[in-house]
């Protein structure tokens, strides 16, 4: 299994290798490499490997000019998950509260419609996209820029564990490979390569999310961008993509329509009268608790209870003291 030897060699030498190198060092490594023993070691750690020659290798990934030799897998999801229609949602790590809300909503609605949500497990937009998919009890794949056994960033260890329950964490990098800045642009090509479409939520002018968009465009995949405020640095990336011809995104329905996928049927919201009144007040604009007391005529205690009920139902979110409706 030359792909496995190649991945193991890259891990041992700290290099990025996708094709067999013409050097004696690799030949010596391959001669002593025990594939069966290595696979047994992976299995003992709950890990798997899909090589480029394996029928389960994602066909879309082959369209990259430098597809990885293989992917290491962690999690309970079937490896066929990597062959299912998937949408990448990526963006800024230090995103705004609005960007976080949009990423989470998109992740939830796309996953509810049966699509796999792809992202990179990073802080900000990536993490919110994964969380949204999990809230919909959907499938989501996290692509790492380090060894597949690593929870990076460490703050997302619990999120990675939740993803692994039904889905997958994947990487072209073998176990124990440490994260390094140069590995993340390489990771981004896999995110784009696995996805039929890519959505950029928020990104600065030199954001890694734009690298993902470039890889998607190189393979002829559709790129969606969420327009933002012209005064915000977080809008520079999406707005630049829109000028270059990216598809404007106004909601998950735009992605679903482009793929010919029907949205999930809306589940009737089962909340009390006070919560219904508060949700109606949030339909047009975000509002603080004091604004909602004034707009609804309810007392502060009733508004607080209603907001808690709406948040538990996934119908409203709060950030920086403002509440927003998630669904009308």
- pLDDT recorded at residue 272: 84
Sign of the torsion formed by the C-alpha atoms of 111, 115, 119 and 125: negative
In a domain, 184, yes or no: yes
In a domain, 216, yes or no: yes
- Residues 216, 286, single domain; the answer is no
- Residues 304, 195, single domain; the answer is no
- Residues 215, 280, single domain; the answer is no
Domain enclosing residue 142, as ranges: 79-259
Dump pLDDT digits (tens) for 135-158.
889 999 999 999 999 999 999 999
- Residues 182, 281, single domain; the answer is no
In the chain, the N- to C-terminal Cα span, in Å, equals 53
On whether the CB atoms of residues 62 and 86 are closer than 8 A, the answer is no
In a domain, 114, yes or no: yes
- Residues 128, 154, single domain; the answer is yes
Is the pLDDT score of 18 beyond 70?
A: no
- Residues 313, 241, single domain; the answer is no
In a domain, 68, yes or no: no
Is the pLDDT score of 14 beyond 90?
A: no
- pLDDT average, residue stretch 265-269: 64
- pLDDT recorded at residue 159: 97
Dump pLDDT digits (tens) for 55-107.
999 999 999 999 999 999 999 999 999 999 999 999 999 999 889 989 999 99
What CATH number is given to the structural domain containing 234?
A: 3.40.50.450
- Residues 210, 284, single domain; the answer is no
On whether the CB atoms of residues 205 and 190 are closer than 8 A, the answer is no
Q: How far apart are CA 115 and CA 85, in angstroms?
A: 6
Q: What is the DSSP string of 118-167?
A: EE---TTHHHHHHHHHHHTT--EEEE-SS-TT--SSGGGHHHHHHHHHHS
Q: What is the pTM of this model?
A: 0.84
**Total number of domains in the chain:** 2
- pLDDT average, residue stretch 11-37: 80
Q: Quote the Cα angle for 119-168-49, to 5°.
A: 115
- pLDDT recorded at residue 247: 97
- pLDDT recorded at residue 328: 44
In a domain, 108, yes or no: yes
- Residues 106, 241, single domain; the answer is yes
Dump pLDDT digits (tens) for 274-325.
988 998 888 878 899 999 999 999 999 999 999 988 887 778 878 778 888 8
């Amino acid at each position: 299994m030359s792909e496995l030897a190649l991945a193991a060699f890259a891990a041992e030498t700290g290099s990025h290798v996708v094709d067999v190198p013409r050097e004696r060092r690799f030949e010596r490594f391959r001669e002593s490499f025990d594939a069966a023993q290595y696979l047994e070691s992976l299995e003992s750690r709950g890990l798997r490997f899909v090589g480029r020659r394996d029928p389960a290798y994602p066909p879309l990934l082959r369209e990259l000019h430098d597809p990885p030799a293989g992917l290491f897998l962690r999690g309970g999801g079937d490896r066929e998950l990597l062959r299912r229609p998937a949408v990448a949602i990526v963006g800024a790590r230090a995103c705004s509260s609005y960007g976080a809300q949009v990423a989470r909503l998109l992740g939830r609605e796309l996953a509810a419609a049966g699509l796999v949500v792809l992202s990179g497990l990073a802080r900000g937009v990536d993490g919110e996209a994964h969380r949204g998919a999990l809230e919909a009890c959907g499938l989501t794949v996290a692509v790492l820029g380090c060894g597949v056994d690593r929870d990076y960033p460490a703050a997302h260890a619990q999120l990675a564990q939740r993803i692994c329950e039904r889905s997958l964490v994947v990487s072209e990098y073998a176990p124990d490979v440490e994260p390094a800045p140069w590995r993340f642009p390489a990771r981004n090509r896999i995110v784009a390569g696995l996805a039929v479409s890519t959505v950029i939520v928020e990104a600065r002018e030199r954001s890694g999310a734009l690298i993902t968009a470039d890889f998607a465009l190189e393979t002829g995949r559709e790129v969606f961008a969420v327009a933002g405020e012209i005064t915000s640095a977080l809008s520079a990336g999406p707005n630049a993509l829109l000028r270059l011809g990216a598809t404007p995104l106004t909601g998950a329905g735009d992605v679903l329509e482009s793929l010919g996928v029907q949205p999930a049927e809306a589940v009737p919201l089962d909340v009390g009268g006070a919560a219904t009144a508060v949700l109606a007040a949030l339909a047009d604009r975000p509002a603080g608790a004091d604004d909602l007391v004034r707009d609804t005529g309810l007392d502060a205690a009733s508004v607080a209870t209603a907001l808690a009920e709406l948040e538990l139902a996934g119908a409203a979110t709060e950030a920086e003291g403002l509440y927003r409706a998630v669904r009308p």
